[in-house]
Amino acid sequence: MLFRSLMTTKTFHIIVVSMVIVFTPVAAWGELVIRVTQGNDKPTMIAVAPMSTNGIQVLEDISAIVESDLLRSGLFKIIPRQDMLAFPQHLDDVYYRDWRLLGSEYLVIGAKLLIADEPTPALDVTAQKTVFKHRVTGTEAQIRDLAHLVSDKVYKEITGIRGVFSTRLAYVTAELNDNKFTYRLNVSDSDGAREQLVLESTQPIMSPSWSPKGDELAYVSFETGRPAIWRQRLVGGQRIQLTNVSGLNGAPSWSPDGSMLALVLSKDGNPEIYLLDLTSNKLSRLTRHFAIDTEPTWTPDGKNLLFTSDRGGTPQIYKLTIASNAVERITFKGNYNARPSLAPDGRTLVVVHRESSVFHIATLDLKTGRMLELTETRLDESPTVAPNGAMLIYATKQAGRGVLSAVSLDAGVKYFLPAKIGDVREPAWSPFLR
C-alpha cells in the first residue's frame, strides 16, 4: 500500500483507499463480540464510504472492518451508510458540501479491488503535501490484515498515536459440559475475529505471556497433573516444557529482549521470583523472603521487575532492581494492589486495586503518585495494556459470565468483548507485530 496525505480544507479531510489483492478465498470467523458502552465526549466525525469490489465476491467488507476499528477506539463517531448521499470511490466523485452537511470531519473513500499478480501501489491518502508512504500487498486471506492496517494509518494520522488494530489478543476460555470443564488458549485479532486455537485441555491453562516479537507464547498448563510453564510457537505449534519442579510454577513474563523469563517457583518451599535464561536454561533466584512474591512484570528497560508481595501484611506492588536485588515498595494506597502491568511509557502502572471490599482496575502514576480508578464493576482482574499505552483489557463478570472488557487509561472509553461460548479470562495484549 502507498499512502499519501493531503488536506483539502481546514475542517474537512479526505482519505483515499485502493487495494491490490490476490484472491484466494478463505473462511473467517470470530468468537468475541464487541460492544462499545462508552466513547469519548467529543468524538471525531468520520465517514467510511463502502469500497467498490468491481463485481468480485469478497468474504469481508473492508470498509465495515475499518468502521468497527475506529468506533472501538471510542475516539470516532461513524456516519451511518444509510445517511450518506453518495458512495464516492475517487476524489473526482467527492462533493464536499454533501459531507459537510452530515458533519463529517474526515471521509475515507476506496477505489475498486483489483486482481493482480504483482505488488502495486494500493493506498493513497491525499492533502497538500506528502505526509507518509507505505506499501503492502496481500491475498484475500489477508483482507482483515489490510483493513486493520488502513485503520492503524487513519488513527495515527488523526490522533498522532500509533494504532493497535493490527495487534492480537491471547486469552483463555472455559466451557462447562457434563460437569467437566474444557479449557482453551486462543489468539485472535484485536477485535476478536479470526480466533485460533493454541491449546485445548481438560486441565486449567493460565497466564499467557507474549514474546517481544509476538511469535511465541509462554503459559502455565496443568496437563501433567501439576502446574508447569510451557513455551509455544504460534506458527507450527512447537512447544517446549520449561519447568518441571514440584510446587508452584507460575506467572511467566518475557523480558523485553526475549532472552529470559521471569517466573514464580515454590520449589524451595516458598513462592519466589526467579529468572530463567532461555538459552542456557539456567535458573537464578531473585527474591528471598518468607512472604509470597509473585506476578513479576518487566520495566521497559529490562533493568527492573515489578511484582506482587504480601511482605508488608497485604498484597502490594514492589520494585526489584535486578543488578543489585534491591527491593522497594511502590504502592501504598488501598489494602490490596496486585497484578501489575506497566504501560510502554514506564510511568503508568496498572493494577488490580481494592480500597474496601470491591476490586477495581486502577492506574498509578509512578512520578506523581496519583491513582485513578478506571472501572466500576466488581471482581475485575488480569489487566493487560495495549502496546500504544492508550487502552487496556481486563477480565470481569457480566451477567454471571466471565468476559473481557476494555477501558482507556483516562477511563473515557469502554467496551466489552464477551465470548459466544463459555467464560473468557486471562487476557494478554500482544506487542506491535512486525
Give pLDDT tens digits for 325-336. 999 999 999 999
User: How far is 388 from 167, CA to CA, in rounded Å?
Assistant: 10
Residue range(s) of every CATH 2.120.10.30 domain in the chain: 168-429
Whether 49 contacts 108, CB under 8 Å: yes
In this predicted structure, what is the pLDDT of residue 107? 84
What is the greatest pairwise CA distance in the chain? 73
Candidate CATH numbers 3.40.50.10070, 1.10.150.120, 3.40.50.300, 3.40.50.170; the one for domain 13-32+40-159? 3.40.50.10070
pLDDT of residue 110: 67
Q: Tens digit of pLDDT for each residue in 215-272?
A: 999 999 999 999 999 999 999 999 999 998 999 999 999 999 999 999 999 998 899 9
Q: What pairs with residue 394 in β-bridges?
A: 405
pLDDT at 336: 94
DSSP string, 122-158: -EE--SSS--------EEGGGHHHHHHHHHHHHHHHH
Ranges of CATH 3.40.50.10070 domains, the chain: 13-32+40-159
Residues 200 and 86: their CA atoms lie apart, in Å, by: 48
pLDDT given for residue 123 in this prediction: 30
Considering the entire predicted model, what is its pTM? 0.86
Residue 55: per-residue pLDDT: 61
- Please, what CATH class does the domain formed by 168-429 belong to? mainly beta
Q: Which three cell numbers stand for residue 247?
A: 510446587
The pLDDT value recorded for residue 398 is 81
3-state secondary structure of 199: strand
Per-residue three-class SS string for 396-419: EEECCEEEEEEEECCCCCEEEECE
Residue 250 is predicted with a pLDDT of: 95
Instruction: List the chain residues with pLDDT less than 50.
Output: 1-11, 18-37, 113-136
pLDDT (0 to 100) of residue 379: 80
Closest CA to 58 of 67, 50, 46: 50
Cα–Cα distance, 157 to 108 (Å, whole number): 12
Estimate the share of the chain in helix, then strand, then coil, as percent rounded to the nearest 5.
Answer: 10, 40, 50
For helices 143-159 and 62-72, what crossing angle results, to 10°? 40
Q: Which residue in 303, 247, 242, 246 sits closest to 276, CA to CA? A: 242
- Within 10 angstroms of residue 306's Cβ, the number of other Cβ atoms is 23
Predicted confidence at residue 357, as pLDDT, reads 80
